Every structure is written in C-alpha cells, then in structure tokens.
C-alpha cells in the first residue's frame, strides 16, 4: 500500500533584496553591501540566506553605481535565479519594491522582502517567519525586534487581538507611540495581492518618498490579516556605520567559532581565532591563538595551525602543520604531513606528502616533491619583473639554507642543493648543485 503525502506549496516564490541605499553614514565610495563580513560581501550573506529558501526568483534592487560595480555583477552571476532591478532615484522602500517588479510580476503567490545590509539573518529564521504567516493565514507578516534603544526604528502598533494595525516611523511617532518597544526590522512577507496595493501608495508629504510601512494601515483597514513574527535580535542587526560592521563581525565570528567547536576543533583562544564564512574545518584540527583564516580554506583532520598564522585560499591536508608566523595564500596545497613552519610564506605552492620548509623561507609558484627538506632562508625567485615562473623540486631532495632558486627551474629527485647557492639552471636527478664562490682563507 502506498500513501501520497501532499506537502503545501512554498508560497514565498519571490524574494526581493533591497540594496539601493546610498550608505551615507558608512562613509565609503563603494556601496556598503559590498563590504566584507567574515570574508564575503554583506549582500552575499543575504543572497545565501535567500537561496537556501529555494525561491523561484531572487530580485536584487540596486542603485545605478552598484549595478555597474564589477564585483557586484560577478556576485549576482553566481546565483542562477537572481536578477537585478535598478532603482534610479532613492524614493523609499515602497518605490524600491515597485522597481523590483516593474518589468515583470512576481513568479509566485507571495513575496519576501529582505535587506542587503542585514547579513546575519538565517534561512531557518526566514522559513519560520513564512510558516508563521501561513499558520495565521496572514496577508502581511512583518518580522519584528525589541531593541534596547528603539530610536530610529518604526514602531509596530498592534490591536487587542495582537494583530498589526500600522507602523509609525520614529520621526512621525507621538510620545506615547515612542514608548512602544516592538519595532519593524524591515524584513517582510506578503501575498502578491498586497504587492498590488504597494503600487497605489502615495508619497510622504514631508519627504516625498514612498514607504512600505504605509501598506500595513491600508491593508488593515481593508480587513487584511497583518501579523508579526519576533525575529532573533542578533540576526537583525542592520549595518549603517563602521561600528555596526564591527559588531556584526563579532557576532558572525562567534557563530563560526562555536560551529568549529561543535565539529571537534580545538581552539586555544576563541577571541583571537578568526574564520571566514566558507571555512571547512575537520575534527581534530588544532588552532593556536592569533590565527586569521580568510576565504577558501579547508583544513583536514589532524591539521595543526600554530600561532600568528594567516591562511587564505588553501587546502591543508591530513596531519599537516602550519606556522607559527606563517602566511599561506592563492591556491596553496599542503599534502599529508607536510610542514610549513615559522616565518615561511607559501603562495601558489604545492607541497607534497611529508615535505618540510620549517624556517624563514619564501616559496612562491613552486611544486615541492614528497619528503623534500627546504632549509632556512630559501627563496624561490619567481618574478622576473614581467612574468611569474615556476620552481619544481623533485622528491627526496635536500635544499640547503640561504639558497636562491631562480625560476623557471627544475631540480631533480634525490638531489642536494648546497647551502648559500644561487641556482640558475636545472639540476639533474641525483646531483649535487653548488652555485657559490669558493671559500678563500688568508692569513691576517
């Protein structure tokens, strides 16, 4: 016997992200939504949360300068269901929503409105808000918060049945209304039918802008069900100033650190360990204090990252060791049990299994074979002033201290490079290479 379980259709078919603000208080030449939070633009965090809700479309409302930013264009292309709508003049949130569907109506039965400068909001909270709206058969559901200082927030006025009847902007609120602690977060869910009413809103007589908040009172008078959903305060932090960005970074890092601990990672000091939004860390990784991990990093099981190390765009494989005071970047790979030690920089480096460079070296555009030992002070001279070149060191080779390897260069397996050498030509397999002047001793 087979049973067919009919699941309710997801009504949040369209998600709109408002990102056309002028960011005056942020004091930056580029849009604040393109500033990084834990290694990714603020807007990317909103896009990720939206995409995780599996909408039929994501519409990003952008200003003309933002829409022309190459980084923004590249970011949008990473989301197949995303498109851009331009708000040519900043005329308020309702006008921004109008712009989103000026060329085409929403694809589904409802619309969710997010803000590009509220990056900590999670997909699970968005889905809970949507479920709340469905449970109450709402036409509008506003996500609310109760901040310690509500100054600047619109106040949500509710009736005796706990239904939302209107939202009053802070500057228009009476003294009694300013005592209301329930505030509008700017995150909304509404039916497509309500969206049609947004298009009929009149501009504010004082500012000339069109406010989305006005639609609540119109809908309530018409008998529509307007409700609210209390969102987590730490997810609803809006980024308006550099101080806000710093606070958001602190909250984001706390999330990432606790996630790492829950996955079996040892952190010597949470306060001085920094992750990125996409950091992948396996169990039994140990991270010492003052470590900064940028985007694109994977740390496999048993890796140790020693103190004062910076890593980005790298894959550190099983039981490898990095640092202290190491710098790794630009698609570097350290294979199993490799060691990149104190004051060593690796850039576009591939160190194979068991290879070691323990002290004071620069290895750029290099392939280091299995069980190679690179002595202190080794430099791969990869740049000729115009192009970068590769150095390849064969397995089981010993490179002495204080050596300069002038790329392009191939050093064969089981070879030895004498300390203090400047190597300009390829070294055959099982050879000793010396590139230094003969020592001369003279009596004083």
Q: What is the 3-state secondary structure (H, E, C) of 76-132?
A: HHCCCCEEEEECCCCCCHHHHHHHHCCCCCCCCCEEEEEECCCCCCCHHHHHHHHHH
Catalytic residue among 359, 371, 389, 396: 359
Asked whether 75 and 41 are in contact (CB, 8 A), the reply is: yes
Pair type for strands 391-393 and 362-368: parallel
Rounded Cα–Cα distance for residues 178 and 350 (Å): 61
Rounded Cα–Cα distance for residues 88 and 96 (Å): 9
Sequence-ordered list of residues with C-beta below 8 angstroms from that of 121, at least 6 positions apart, any chain = 45, 46, 49, 114, 187, 231, 235, 236
Rounded Cα–Cα distance for residues 213 and 215 (Å): 5
**Would you call 359 a catalytic residue per the annotation?**
yes
- What is the b/e burial string over 191-229, where b = at least 16 CB atoms within 10 angstroms of the residue's CB? bbebbebbeebeebeeeeebbbbbbbbbbbeeebbbbbb
**Catalytic positions, please?**
359
């Amino acid at each position: 016997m087979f049973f067919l379980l009919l699941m309710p259709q997801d009504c949040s078919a369209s998600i709109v992200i408002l990102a056309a603000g002028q960011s005056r208080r942020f004091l930056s030449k580029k849009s604040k939504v393109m500033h990084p939070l834990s290694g990714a633009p603020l807007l990317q965090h909103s896009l990720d949360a939206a995409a995780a809700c599996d909408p039929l479309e994501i519409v990003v409302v952008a200003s003309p300068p933002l829409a022309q930013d190459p980084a923004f264009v590249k970011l949008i292309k990473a989301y197949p269901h995303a498109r851009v709508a331009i708000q040519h003049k900043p005329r308020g949130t309702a006008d921004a929503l109008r712009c989103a569907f000026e060329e085409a109506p929403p694809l589904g039965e409802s619309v969710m409105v997010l803000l590009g400068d509220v990056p900590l909001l999670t997909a699970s909270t968005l889905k809970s808000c949507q479920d709340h709206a469905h449970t109450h058969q709402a036409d509008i559901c506003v996500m609310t918060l109760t901040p310690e200082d509500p100054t600047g927030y619109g106040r949500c006025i509710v009736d005796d049945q706990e239904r939302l009847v209107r939202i009053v902007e802070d500057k228009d609120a009476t003294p009694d209304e300013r005592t209301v602690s329930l505030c509008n977060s700017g995150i909304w869910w509404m039916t497509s039918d309500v969206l049609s009413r947004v298009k009929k809103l009149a501009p504010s007589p004082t500012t000339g802008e069109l406010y989305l908040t006005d639609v609540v009172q119109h809908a309530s008078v018409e008998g529509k069900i307007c409700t609210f959903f209390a969102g987590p305060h730490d997810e609803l932090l809006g980024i308006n100033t550099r101080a806000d960005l710093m606070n958001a970074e602190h909250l984001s890092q706390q999330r990432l650190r606790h996630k790492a601990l829950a996955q079996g990672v040892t952190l010597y000091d949470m306060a001085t360990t920094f992750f990125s939004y996409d950091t992948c860390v396996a169990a039994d990784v140990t991270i010492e204090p003052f470590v900064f991990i940028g985007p694109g990093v994977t740390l496999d099981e048993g890796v140790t990252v020693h103190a004062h190390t910076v890593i980005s765009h790298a894959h550190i494989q099983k039981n490898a060791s990095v640092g202290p005071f190491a710098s790794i970047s630009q698609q570097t790979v350290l294979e199993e049990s490799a060691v990149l030690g104190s004051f060593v920089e690796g850039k576009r480096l591939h160190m194979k299994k068991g290879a070691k460079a323990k002290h004071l070296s620069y290895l750029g555009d290099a392939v280091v074979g299995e069980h190679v030992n690179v002595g202190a002070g080794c430099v791969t001279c990869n740049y000729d002033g115009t192009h970068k070149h590769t150095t390849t060191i064969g397995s089981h080779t010993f490179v002495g201290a204080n050596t300069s390897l002038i790329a392009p260069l191939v050093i064969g397996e089981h070879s030895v490079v004498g300390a203090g050498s400047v190597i300009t030509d390829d070294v055959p397999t099982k050879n000793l290479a010396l590139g230094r002047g003969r020592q001369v001793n003279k009596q004083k």
